[in-house]
């Protein structure tokens, strides 16, 4: 298991939070997702044998949000 924290540039509304959480939660290997609206951050726990942090970042980017930075740590 690993954990990724992504800092976003353009998280502007609570519906953005729901959109991102929903899309990431549907991915195989994702165990937990939390969007911190006020901090413009996404935190996710995932099984790195099923999905990569790059895949999660690409999902967020495909939704139209710019990932400013990301940090991955193994659990």
- Structure confidence by residue, pLDDT tens digits, 56-72: 999 999 999 999 999 99
For residue 12, what are the domain limits?
Answer: 2-74
Give the residue from 3, 1, 12, 5 showing the smallest Cα distance to 65.
12
pTM: 0.91
Count of domains forming the chain: 1
pLDDT at 39: 92
CATH for 30: 3.30.70.100
Average pLDDT, the chain: 94
Share of the chain above pLDDT 90, in %: 84
């Amino acid at each position: 298991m690993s954990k990724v924290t992504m800092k976003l540039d353009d998280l502007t509304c609570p519906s953005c939070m729901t959109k991102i959480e929903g899309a990431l939660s549907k991915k195989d290997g994702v165990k937990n997702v939390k969007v911190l609206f006020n901090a413009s951050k996404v935190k996710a726990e995932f099984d790195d044998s099923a999905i990569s942090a790059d895949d999660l970042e690409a999902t967020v980017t495909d939704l139209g949000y710019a990932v400013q930075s990301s940090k991955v740590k193994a659990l």
